[in-house]
């Protein structure tokens, strides 16, 4: 199995940064979408969280299922901004088409959304999990 998650990671970041709905929530100069969050980031922003890669070698294909968490961060003790951010991410990625050289993305589906409170009382965190099926083209 060749781990294709690096190629998928770049495509996820590019798709989120280019999406007008995401830009409307996290800004667009540049969009605050990170795989490596800078110190002291401006809120709200999106970061790539943990991922899990599992082989799916059925039917003689070298495929993978990848579960990827996309994290949204807002500085607002109420839900509306957090829900706007999660909606923008889901609209951008759920059932989206990806164009990745050398990789075929069979599907991308929303798996779960978890809304979380940070202990500081003003930061809210939404953890959005997606399920991908991919294979080398």
- What residues contact residue 36 under an 8 Å CB cut-off, 6+ apart? none
Split at pLDDT 50, 70, 90, the class of 56 is: confident
Residue 4's pLDDT is what? Answer: 85
Residue 65's pLDDT is what? Answer: 93
3-state secondary structure the chain: CCCCHHHHHHHHHHHHHHCHHHHHHHCCCCCCEECCCCCCCCCCEEEEEEEEEEEECHHHCCEEEEEEEEEEEEECCCCHHHHHHHHHHHHHHCCCCCCECCEEEEEEEEEEEEEEECCCCCEEEEEEEEEEEEEEC
Q: For residue range 6-51, list pLDDT tens digits in order.
A: 999 999 999 999 999 999 999 999 999 999 999 999 999 999 999 9
Query: By the 8 A CB rule, do 4 and 64 touch?
Result: yes
Q: Please state the rounded mean pLDDT for residues 73-81.
A: 87
In this predicted structure, the answer to whether residue 3 has a pLDDT above a threshold of 90 is no
Q: For residue range 82-115, list pLDDT tens digits in order.
A: 999 999 999 999 999 999 998 999 999 999 999 9
Residue 120's pLDDT is what? Answer: 87
Domains of the chain: 5-136 (3.30.2000.30)
Split at pLDDT 50, 70, 90, the class of 62 is: confident
In this predicted structure, the answer to whether residue 59 has a pLDDT above a threshold of 70 is no
3-state DSSP assignment of residue 121 = coil
Question: pLDDT: is 68 or 102 the higher one?
Answer: 68
In this predicted structure, the answer to whether residue 74 has a pLDDT above a threshold of 70 is yes
> Tokens standing for 105?
């993305």
């Amino acid at each position: 199995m060749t781990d294709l998650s690096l190629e998928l990671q770049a495509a996820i970041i590019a798709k989120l940064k280019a999406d007008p709905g995401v830009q409307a929530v996290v800004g667009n100069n540049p969009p605050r979408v990170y795989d490596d969050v800078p110190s002291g980031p401006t809120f709200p922003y999106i970061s790539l969280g943990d991922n899990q890669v599992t082989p799916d070698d059925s039917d003689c294909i070298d495929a993978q299922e990848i579960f990827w968490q996309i994290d949204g961060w807002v500085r607002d003790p109420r839900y509306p901004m957090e829900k706007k951010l999660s909606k923008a991410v889901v609209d951008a990625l759920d059932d989206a088409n990806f164009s990745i050289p050398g990789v075929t993305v069979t599907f991308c589906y929303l798996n779960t959304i978890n809304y979380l409170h940070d202990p500081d009382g003003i930061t809210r965190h939404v953890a959005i999990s997606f399920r991908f099926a991919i294979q080398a083209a």
